[in-house]
Amino acid sequence: MRLKIYGTAASRAARPLWVAQELGLAYEHVALPYLGGATRTPEFLKVNPNGRIPVVDDGGVLVWESMACTMYLAERFLGADGRSLAARDNAERAEILRWTFWVVTECEKDALLFLMHARLMPPERRRPLLAEEALRHLAGPLRILNQHLQDRPYLAGERFTVADICVASVIAWVEDAGELMAQCPLLRDWLQRCLARPAFQQVRSMAKSA
Ligand SMILES: N[C@@H](CCC(=O)N[C@@H](CS)C(=O)NCC(=O)O)C(=O)O
């Protein structure tokens, strides 16, 4: 198959997989795990010298970095119904770029700290203070996104775009941080709208069965 997406759905590969599912793309899923050295073999290092997933291979064009993979697919492909997740004008392009860079630089590290230390790591290795501190750091940026959502249902305006996928896939890591979500009700509702989409639900069930 011409299009391949490398990386288990239980990883940042969920981001490009979500785009592929939204658009109904035909792709081969090479569900490499991120533990156990599968991303560090000489063969995979030729695909991504960083030794990380996800990677999109579009007929030999290799894209790594999850947000780059996600935006590449959205720019490159339309859905079968002609639907696009990419920018249709400069105003949408500005929203997609700024919120995607924002979530990676302002939110991802803290969201991941919370996920690891409050949810994923074995209880004896968790450091609850790190998880609490991460949520405190996130409160400021998430209030800004909450405010942005005051007069639009999606990040770029009236329609769902790749910006929603890039941002929701990070904020989903703190989805069940009840107090934080209660402080940002518009963001909480937007996140639920995004995560309820059939394409995301498909990716979530792929992750559960991984
Ligand atoms: N900034 C990178 C981070 C990629 C990353 O850390 N991927 C993890 C899985 S979510 C991985 O491949 N870990 C395996 C390793 O580092 O050996 C991106 O967004 O793609």
- Tell me if 39 CB under 6 Å of ligand 1: yes
- Tell me if 52 CB under 6 Å of ligand 1: yes
Query: Residue 1 pLDDT > 80, yes or no?
Result: no
> d(Cα 173, Cα 169) in Å, to the nearest integer?
7
**Superfamily of segment(s) 3-84:** Glutaredoxin (3.40.30.10)
Residue-wise DSSP of the chain: --EEEES-TTTTTHHHHHHHHHHT---EEE---SSTTGGGSHHHHHH-TT--S-EEEETTEEEESHHHHHHHHHHH---TTS---S-SSHHHHHHHHHHHHHIIIIIHHHHHHHIIIIIIS-GGG--HHHHHHHHHHHHHHHHHHHHHGGG-SBTTBSS--HHHHHHHHHHGGGTT-HHHHHH-HHHHHHHHHHHTSHHHHHHHHHHHT-
Q: Which segments of the chain belong to CATH 3.40.30.10? A: 3-84
User: Which region, left, alpha or beta, applies to residue 12 given φ > 0 means left and ψ of -120 to 50 means alpha?
Assistant: alpha
- What CATH topology corresponds to 90-197? Glutathione S-transferase Yfyf (Class Pi); Chain A, domain 2 (1.20.1050)
Mean of pLDDT values over 110-136 = 97
For residue 103, name the pLDDT band (cuts at 50, 70, 90): very high
Confidence (pLDDT) at 210: 84
- Tell me if 33 CB under 6 Å of ligand 1: no
Query: Residue 44 pLDDT > 80, yes or no?
Result: yes
Reported pTM? 0.97
* Probe residue for ligand 1, chosen from 6, 12, 67, 103 as the CB with the greatest number of ligand atoms within 8 Å: 12
- Tell me if 34 CB under 6 Å of ligand 1: yes
Q: Which segments of the chain belong to CATH 1.20.1050.10? A: 90-197
